[in-house]
Amino acid sequence: MSIPKDARHLFRFAILFVIAFVVFLVIRHFVVPKTFGEYGHYRGAAITEIAARPMHFAGHQKCETCHVDIGEAKKAGKHENVSCEACHGPLAQHADDPSIQPTKINTTEVCIRCHADSAAKPGVFPQIDPVQHSGGVPCETCHQPHNGL
Amino acid sequence: MSGVEGYMYPNEITLNWSVLIVLYPYITGLVAGAFILASLVRIFNVKAVAPTYRLALLTALSFLLVAPLPLQLHLGHPLRSPEMYFTPHSTSAMAMFGFVYLWYLMAVLVFEIWLDYRSDIVHLSQTSTGWKRTLYRAMTLGSDNISPRSLAIDHKVGWIVTLVGIPSAFILHGYVGFIFGSLKANPWWNSPLMPVVFLFSAMVSGIAAVLLLYMGISKLRKTPVDMPCVDTIAMYLFYIFILDFSLEMLDLVHRVYEADESFRTLNFMVHTKLYFSQIVLQICLGTLVPIFLLAITQVKKLPELVRRRIYIVSGFLVQLGVFAMRWNVVIGGQLFSKSFLGYTTYKMSLVTKEGLFAAIALTVLPLVILWILVKLLPPWDKEAQASIPAATAAN
């Protein structure tokens, strides 16, 4: 079947579409990661890549094998269920090699992450207005962080 | 906390959807509306509005080109946006919309404009010089066949394109309302009427925009305004406006009658924070006044000058009202807490990425694009204008 002469220009436009579509497919082929869609709507390789990342957190059980005293002290206090690294930050490197000294934490920032007043927190949770309560004095001058008092 | 009254959940305190998200449905609405006006000529054979046919198409195109920009600015990371096309998620309405957008842009608007302008383009490629000649040559796609038979074929195909274009335009804008209407967490938005209301207000704003542009351009070019044309547009504007208004009122009455658990909160908002933008701007100034003005032109024979002035005033009021409607939906829906116990405030920034200036720039940009398009593809070619009704008659 030959295309009528007077409709050929329409096919030129159609060819433009086909070209655009092919270009799209080619680009798509190169930019979409190979493992995309292997398990779901994400890169399959992401799982192994993430698993291969170095550990940042050691977990409180590990800390307590060396810092037995603090572990015991903490169990007796209100911070019983707060993990070491929630305050100290990720310390996996230190746990593997204690010669790497952890940096000192700035309690005026760390403690109010959990304890600053907010209407969204349950009323029973201990909350303070940092300005009124301590006015910039580090919390550990009055409180013992491991005992939570 | 500043701007917060009562009880807000922390994630509700700052509004994430800014004025740009107000602009986005407004701009897409203009696209859909302008296209519907063009389809009046093509599909519904309303010959009187033919002088605005091409202008309406170019308007739709220039606003459509700008439509995604508010979203890009709002989201940041423009380089990530193609991912939507490369790895679309079939359950995401927004991802699917990306394809509707492309389809509408390329297969409907650009194609229809190309078909309609083909003889002009061929003509221009032969008469112009320099870079323009190259540009027009490229636009002809290397075919200078403008025999009457080929133009007749173009016209048939254009008719089909417009026919397909109407549902496309509906989906294009209905989608925006759909996104809001399907958000079940937000009682201000969650309504199956939302897409329909968005659609009708889109038609109203788009038709009014083309009306204003047509009269403005005529003034600039010092050519007389085609009165039967603007009268007909105003008539359609009036009727569609009535439909739009009834739908909005239906939505309102339904909410009042249903009076579900959110009603007291929403009612309170409409009477306080949204009073000015909803009652004063949207309903009174933006809807009732222009409907009343347009109604006068329908029932009374007024002198030309008065009619023109009425059209201009109501055209601007319509834009104001529809923009206010988008504002009340987008911003209004974020001002109250899901707890129904608290309210927050939206404070528009000025020179930030999502501030007032960005919004103004994005409103002016389509007009600049339109100006360039109009220079390149003059919509008022005498013989072309004559050819549309003639060709329509041949249809």
Question: Across the interface, do A27 and B86 touch by the CB < 8 Å criterion?
Answer: yes
Q: How far apart are CA B229 and CA B270, in angstroms?
A: 39
Residue B141 has pLDDT above 60, yes or no: yes
Question: What's the pLDDT at B1?
Answer: 61
Look at A117 and B293; give whichever has higher pLDDT.
B293
CB-based contacts of B379-386 (< 8 A; 24+ apart in sequence)? B379/B53, B379/B54, B379/B55, B379/B58, B380/B51, B380/B54, B380/B55, B380/B221, B380/B223, B381/B120, B384/B54, B384/B117, B384/B119, B384/B120, B385/B50, B385/B51
Say whether residue A13 is in contact with chain B using an 8 A CB cutoff.
yes
Query: Could you tell me how many residues make up chain B?
Result: 395
Classify the C-alpha dihedral B42-B47-B53-B56 as positive or negative: negative
Nearest CA in chain B to A42: B87
Cα–chain-centroid distance for residue B224? 26
Q: In whole angstroms, what is the distance from residue B33 CA to residue B50 CA? A: 16
> What's the pLDDT at B381?
60
Is B143–A9 a contact, with Cβ atoms under 8 angstroms apart?
yes
Q: In the predicted model, is pLDDT for residue B373 greater than 80?
A: yes
Q: What number is the average pLDDT over the span A63-82?
A: 91
**Cα A124 to Cα B87: distance, rounded to the nearest angstrom:** 46
A6 to B153: CB separation less than 8 angstroms, yes or no? yes
Mean pLDDT of A50-72: 92
Q: Which of B115, B139, B140, B141 best probes binding to A when mutated, by most A CB atoms within 10 angstroms? A: B141
- Cβ of B89 within 8 Å of Cβ of A41? The answer is yes
* 3-state SS assignment for residue B121: helix
What is the C-alpha separation between B372 and A68, in angstroms, rounded? 76
**Average pLDDT value over all residues in chain B:** 91
Residue B192, judged by CB atoms within 10 A of its CB (0-12, 13-18, 19+), counts as: exposed
Rounded average pLDDT over B348-376: 94
Cα distance between residue A13 and residue B17, in whole Å: 39
Query: How many contacts (CB atoms, under 8 Å) link A and B?
Result: 47
Q: What share of chain B is helix, strand, coil (3-state, %, to 5)?
A: 75, 0, 25
CB neighbours (10 Å) of residue B367? Answer: 14
Mutant choice from B108, B143, B147, B157 vs A, greatest count of A C-beta within 10 A: B143
Q: Could you tell me the pTM of the whole model?
A: 0.78
For residue A29, pLDDT beyond 80? yes
Residue range B10-20, pLDDT digits in tens: 888 888 899 99
Question: A125 CB near a chain B CB, below 8 Å?
Answer: no
Across the interface, of A9, A36, A41, the residue whose CB is closest to B150 is A9
Does pLDDT of B84 surpass 50? yes
What mean pLDDT is predicted for residues B58-80? 94
Whole-Å CA distances, B264 to B261, B271, B278: 7, 11, 16
Q: Write down the domain spans for chain B.
A: 5-394
B389 has a pLDDT exceeding 60: no
Q: Over 50: is that where the pLDDT of B319 sits?
A: yes
State both tokens at B369: 């694009």
How far apart CA B212 and CA B357 sit, in angstroms, is: 23
Across the interface, of A6, A13, A36, the residue whose CB is closest to B87 is A36
- Environment class of residue B198 by beta-carbon count within 10 Å: exposed (0-12), middle (13-18) or buried (19+)? buried
Confirm whether the ipTM is greater than 0.90: no
Report yes or no: B74 and B94 within 8 Å, Cβ to Cβ.
no
pLDDT, average across residues A69-88:
91
> Which pLDDT tens digit goes with each residue over B299-313?
999 999 999 999 999
CA atoms A64, A66, A68, A74: torsion sign: negative
The per-residue pLDDT for B311 is 96
pLDDT at site B390 = 42
pLDDT at B392 over 50: no
Nearest to A9 among B9, B89, B141 (CB): B141
Amino acid identity, position B388: I
Q: pLDDT digits over B93-126, tens only?
A: 888 989 999 999 998 999 999 999 999 999 999 9
Distances (CA, A) of B85 to B108, B238, B375: 19, 39, 32
Q: Which CATH superfamily is domain B5-394 in?
A: Formate dehydrogenase/DMSO reductase domain (1.20.1630.10)
Say whether residue B91 is in contact with chain A using an 8 A CB cutoff: no
B43 CA to centre of own chain: 20
Q: Which residues of B touch A120 (CB under 8 A)?
A: 9-10
Given a cut of 70, is residue A2 above it in pLDDT?
A: no
Q: Which of A1-5, A58-62, B123-127, B361-365 has the lowest mean pLDDT?
A: A1-5
Cα B175 to chain centroid distance, Å, stands at 13
Read off the pLDDT of residues B159-204 as tens digits, 9 standing for 90 and up.
999 999 999 999 988 998 999 999 988 999 999 999 999 999 999 9
Q: pLDDT over 90 for what percent of chain A?
A: 64
| Amino acid residing at B83 | E
Tens-digit pLDDT profile for residues B221-264: 999 999 999 999 999 999 999 999 999 999 999 999 988 888 99
> In the structure, what pLDDT confidence band is assigned to residue B387 with cuts at 50, 70 and 90?
very low
